[in-house]
């Protein structure tokens, strides 16, 4: 009986955790968009990063765009390359856009940076690359 109760508690926790993570990711993204709309990219970046790392597809794309198009210190071509790669791997509605942006970012990378970007992309794809469909 004790084992069954523990199993039910674990299942209940898991059942409620995933929607909560999804809602949290959406809330983080909304906050980030608010900061970005005001030009505060430095405040938007960590929020979008957290949302992207929770697996939120829209945030993954927006984080790549933020890293790609923001001024320093937010701009990071290595991370932008990696997150665009995740979006492409997920084959969502923004795949073509992500491919175009990835090609532009790739042109800005030195050979050592390209190698680092590919390694990071592989790690992120392994973790977040499930289909968005």
Residue-wise pLDDT for 28-85, tens only, equals 999 999 999 999 999 999 999 999 999 999 999 999 999 999 999 999 999 999 999 9
Predicted local distance difference test score (pLDDT) of residue 133:
57
Predicted local distance difference test score (pLDDT) of residue 7:
39
Predicted local distance difference test score (pLDDT) of residue 23:
73
Residue-wise pLDDT for 97-125, tens only, equals 999 999 999 999 999 999 999 999 999 99
* Backbone angle region of 76, left / alpha / beta, with phi > 0 → left and psi within -120 to 50 → alpha: beta
Please choose, from the candidates 61, 59, 67, 79, the residue with its C-alpha nearest in 3D space to the C-alpha of residue 42.
Answer: 67
The Cα–Cα gap between 81 and 106 comes to 7
Confidence at 130, pLDDT banded by 50, 70, 90? confident
Predicted local distance difference test score (pLDDT) of residue 18:
41
User: Which domains occur in the chain, in start order?
Assistant: 2-128 (1.25.40)
Predicted local distance difference test score (pLDDT) of residue 12:
37
The Cα–Cα gap between 8 and 48 comes to 34
The Cα–Cα gap between 102 and 68 comes to 9
Predicted local distance difference test score (pLDDT) of residue 103:
98
């Amino acid at each position: 009986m004790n084992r069954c109760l523990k199993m039910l508690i674990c299942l209940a926790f898991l059942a409620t955790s995933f929607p909560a993570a999804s809602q949290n990711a959406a809330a983080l993204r909304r906050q980030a968009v608010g900061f970005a709309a005001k030009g505060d990219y430095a405040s938007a970046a960590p929020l979008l990063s957290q949302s992207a790392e929770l697996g939120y597809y829209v945030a993954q794309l927006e984080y790549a765009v933020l890293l790609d198009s923001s001024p320093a210190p937010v701009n990071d071509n290595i991370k932008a390359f990696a997150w665009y790669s995740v979006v492409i791997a997920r084959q969502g509605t923004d795949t073509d856009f992500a491919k175009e942006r990835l090609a532009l970012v790739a042109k800005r990378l030195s050979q050592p940076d390209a190698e680092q970007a590919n390694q990071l992309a592989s790690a992120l794809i392994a973790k977040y690359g499930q289909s968005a469909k």
